[in-house]
Amino acid sequence: MNMAALDSWSLLAVWTAITVYVIAFAAYSADLAQRSVRKERTTPQPILVGAAAGESSHDTGTQGGANVEGEEEPRQPRFVWGRVGTSLTMLGFVFHLAGTLMRGIASGRVPWANMYEFALTGTLLIVALYLLVLLRYDLRFLGAFIIGMVTLLFGGATIAFYVEITPLMDPLKSVWLVVHVFVASLATALFALSCGLSIVQLLQTRHERVTGEPGRSAGPGFLRTLPRADTLESLAYRFAIVGFIFWTFTLIAGAIWANESWGRYWGFDTKEVWTFVIWVLYAGYIHARATRGWRGTRSAWLSIIGFSAVLFNFTIVNLFFKGLHAYSGLS
């Protein structure tokens, strides 16, 4: 099979994955509707041990809803549409992975050298991370947000950014293409999960404030089946910390690569500046929450603003700002 034919098969797999994700999104939306008819919160709280700064595992178990040793586990409700959505997401992931691998084989390099390929790999990692987290924590309530966002980014990039395979530009012929861009993609996936949790946290905070009873929600019924706002915040914070570590490595690796390619570590190129801006935003978020007591709504908004900057960096900066990092692949 020649490379052009393999890339065509890759594109077919990509569109199949997008179609399956759309159906998965519909199933997850139906799951939220199903949760809305629940009158009591019976779902055990998905929480990491010691998720909130300064909390002990016993505290998080008693306050967040997770079981402590010796207690009987609450009965788990069966949210059928959530399970259907997860199964479809797994199927979509298989086609997504196949499309990514075929694109890489057809190009003879890693599949993240232009905007289309970065979106291909980046959204793949978001779905992979989401599915991995589900192995331990029941975050299927995030499915509609995560898969909806992936469908928009993945489908939009395939429509707007798809390009034929072309040889790499000289600056991209480096091992740092493998390391730097992959780590940036992984950090983006972690930030996406953190942002999703922060959005749900804002919804939960508002309705807990309306009722004046933590853990009991007014408004959308599905909120009754979700963890408390402080639990969601703790989980978002955890994902953001790990993402920040990877983004720090991205910044350092990018400087080393820039020195190899252009003979300087930093040149105030637009892409470099925005990568640093994102680092500052998340550093501020982590520092403010850990030392300044920025909890609750302010913490959630910092997380959302940080991820918005990541998306701005990928789309607007790549498309409309000129610089040495003009590797979108678009003419």
Domain coordinates in residue numbering, the chain: 3-33+43-62+81-320
Specify the amino acid at residue 322: K
The contacts of residue 75 (CB under 8 Å, 6+ apart) are: 42
For residues 99 and 111, what is the distance between their CA atoms, to the nearest angstrom?
10
Q: Any idea which residue has 């390391």 for tokens?
A: 179
For residues 136 and 126, what is the distance between their CA atoms, to the nearest angstrom?
16
- In the 8-state DSSP scheme, what is residue 317? I
Q: Identify the sign of the CA torsion 256, 258, 327, 168.
A: negative
Specify the amino acid at residue 120: L
The contacts of residue 257 (CB under 8 Å, 6+ apart) are: 174, 176, 180
pTM: 0.82
Nearest CA to 102 among 84, 85, 117, 119?
A: 117
pLDDT (tens digit, 0 to 9) for every residue of the chain, 331 residues total? 677 788 899 999 999 999 999 999 999 999 888 877 754 444 444 444 444 434 433 333 333 344 434 444 455 566 788 999 999 999 999 999 999 999 999 988 889 888 899 999 999 999 999 999 999 888 898 999 999 999 999 999 999 989 888 887 777 778 888 888 899 999 999 999 999 999 999 988 887 777 665 555 455 677 777 888 889 999 999 999 999 999 999 999 988 988 887 888 888 888 889 999 999 999 999 988 887 777 888 889 999 999 999 999 888 888 877 766 656 555 5
For residues 242 and 237, what is the distance between their CA atoms, to the nearest angstrom?
9
